[in-house]
Amino acid sequence: MDTTIAVPRLELLQVADAVAREKGIERDEVLEAMEQAIQKAGRSKYGHEHDIRARIDRKNGEIRLMRYREAVETVENEATQLPLPVAQRLNPEIKPGEFIVDELPPIDFGRIAAQTAKQVIVQKVREAERKRQFDEYKNRKSEIVNGLVKRVEFGNVSVDLGRAEAMLRRDELLPRETFRNGDRVRALIYDVREEPRGPQIFLSRTHPDFMAKLFAQEVPEIYDGIIEIKAVARDPGSRAKIAVLSNDSGIDPVGACVGMRGSRVQAVVGELQGEKIDIIPWSPDPATFVVNALAPAEVAKVVLDEETRRIEVVVPESQLSLAIGRRGQNVRLASMLTGWNIDILTEEEESERRSEEMRTRSQMFIEALDVDDVIAHLLVTEGFTNIEEVAFVPIEELASIEGFDENVAGELRERARVFLQEQNAKLSARRRELGVDDALAGIERLTPAMLVTLGENGIKTLDDLADLSSGELIDEKDGILRGSGLSETDANNIIMAARAHWFEGETLAGAVAPATS
């Protein structure tokens, strides 16, 4: 009995149409998968070395199986190539690179061939379906979607979105949150990416954007752009802070987000399993923003260091535990929200630290400049923090300090310069004693004190310094030159200056390379 192609021609097209509709992919993609399946079966029958191709007529479903052989000047593969003279006998008009096409008889599909063909079709249709899913969802990042829980494996939840399946991993779920098959779930698409096993859609319920999008759904003013969500910080399932700004002076952004009797914020809290939410007004002024972010704690004073993005916050003793929060939660969320590192001190601690700083600096001026404690105290009170400032400040500025005149100012400046010269001479001698190269001492921004520190840490040549990263140089915890006042830009410039001789050497070698005869 002939089992050529068991499916009648038109029925083949109907099957392709049905699969395409069911999977939401193009009909042509299904037919191409069928062609590849027939092609694979043909190669199994006639030999895998042959170039055998299948074609399904898109109008009547007719299947053609063909062998292709390329006309070439020199034959390298007899199974897929023909010498040009032989090819021209079959087709006088053929040119090199063109093909002789031989029709092959229909395939008699055996059980194994049919199974192989089915596997190819299923695989190709699955790939086409995944491509369709990827194309559909790749531009939908940061959207909230609803789905049904399909299965739960080791805490990871597979979610049926209707036209695709997504993954809600255990670490993207709220703490103590559990789902069972058939549960409805709402989550944020936070990533869509190609992986070896196909396109994957990843969901999250812990991402800060999930909260922002929930507020946009509950608060019409956010959806309309009247109110902006400027920043969100979350400790998922426990507490969160959200900073809002109103573009309309007549609308209170905090009140709009809270809603009548808290209805709007409670809707978001309910979706997030009771996560407490602090809604605070955003401010372009960092100090004001940090003070708002630490609410409900009251702040007495703030001191900013813009270069390191660190802010010192002083609070009354009674407000300390509130400002820090349970396990440091309040200050941690405020830091995440504002992007500033926040140090919290009580008024008493700040007073003690200021007194200690004043005593230490006064003692430094007394010893370095050989002055009494009154003059040293005046210099500290006026904001002088080191000897360099006294040595190079304009004399008029020193003389303007109450109790000083130009003679006193000139004497102080001269003593500061003499002290620095003596100090630098000692440090330079120590640097040479440590074996630090003069080439290293020639790098801008490296002071004698820094050079000694480098030498004591085994950094003695340009190559030693060039091998470091900026973090190894100035990291707050274990950087070699931590506390030296160098910024990350300074550190990078110093390292690049140390590496400059590498490139000069290459250029020079290329320029003077001897000619070979």
Q: What are 456-480's pLDDT values in tens digits?
A: 888 888 888 888 888 888 887 788 8
User: Is the per-residue pLDDT at 166 higher than 90?
Assistant: no
Query: Is residue 101, in this structure, part of any structural domain at all?
Result: yes
Query: Is residue 353, in this structure, part of any structural domain at all?
Result: no
Query: Is residue 403, in this structure, part of any structural domain at all?
Result: no
Nearest-angstrom CA–CA distance, 353 and 369: 24
Check residue 3 and give its pLDDT.
35
Question: Mean pLDDT over residues 367-396, rounded?
Answer: 81
At residue 121 the predicted structure's pLDDT band, cuts being 50, 70 and 90, is: low
Nearest-CA neighbor of 496 among 475, 472, 468, 474? 468
User: Is the per-residue pLDDT at 442 higher than 60?
Assistant: yes
Check residue 233 and give its pLDDT.
93
Check residue 117 and give its pLDDT.
54
Burial of 4 (0-12, 13-18, 19+ CB in 10 A): exposed
Check residue 451 and give its pLDDT.
87
- Residue 156, domain extent: 138-204
Query: Is residue 366, in this structure, part of any structural domain at all?
Result: no
Residues β-bridged to residue 157: 152, 168
Residues 71 and 34 occupy one common structural domain:
yes
Query: Is residue 197, in this structure, part of any structural domain at all?
Result: yes
pLDDT above 70 covers what percent of the chain? 90
Check residue 111 and give its pLDDT.
55
- The domain boundary, picked from 183, 204, 225, lies at 204
Query: Is residue 146, in this structure, part of any structural domain at all?
Result: yes
- Look over the chain and give the mean of its residue pLDDT values, rounded to a whole number: 82
Residues 48 and 98 occupy one common structural domain:
yes
Contact by Cβ (8 Å): 188, 143: yes
Contact by Cβ (8 Å): 268, 211: yes
pLDDT above 90 covers what percent of the chain? 17
Check residue 115 and give its pLDDT.
60
Q: Mind spelling out the 3-state secondary structure of 468-498?
A: CCHHHHHCCCCCCCCCCCCCHHHHHHHHHHH
Q: Can the peptide bond before residue 296 be classed as cis, meaning omega within 30 degrees of 0?
A: yes
Q: What are 176-218's pLDDT values in tens digits?
A: 888 888 889 999 998 888 777 767 889 999 999 999 999 999 9
What's the total number of domains in the chain? 3
User: Is the per-residue pLDDT at 234 higher than 90?
Assistant: yes
Residues 120 and 19 occupy one common structural domain:
yes
CATH number at residue 39: 3.30.1480.10
Residues 200 and 147 occupy one common structural domain:
yes
Residues 125 and 143 occupy one common structural domain:
no
Q: What are 407-438's pLDDT values in tens digits?
A: 888 888 888 888 888 888 888 888 888 888 88
Residues 128 and 13 occupy one common structural domain:
yes
Query: Is residue 312, in this structure, part of any structural domain at all?
Result: no
Residues 18 and 116 occupy one common structural domain:
yes
Q: What are 16-63's pLDDT values in tens digits?
A: 777 777 766 777 877 787 788 788 878 877 888 888 888 888 887 777
Residues 150 and 39 occupy one common structural domain:
no
DSSP states of 250-272 as a string?
TS-HHHHHH-GGGHHHHHHHHHT
Contact by Cβ (8 Å): 214, 146: no
Query: Is residue 352, in this structure, part of any structural domain at all?
Result: no
Check residue 215 and give its pLDDT.
92
> What SS3 state is found at 122?
helix
Contact by Cβ (8 Å): 23, 13: no
Check residue 511 and give its pLDDT.
40
Higher-pLDDT residue of 379 and 255 is 255
Question: Mean pLDDT over residues 129-141, rounded?
Answer: 78
Contact by Cβ (8 Å): 54, 120: no
Check residue 203 and give its pLDDT.
92
Residues 187 and 128 occupy one common structural domain:
no
CATH number at residue 496: 1.10.150.20
Residues 110 and 146 occupy one common structural domain:
no
Question: Mean pLDDT over residues 152-180, rounded?
Answer: 87
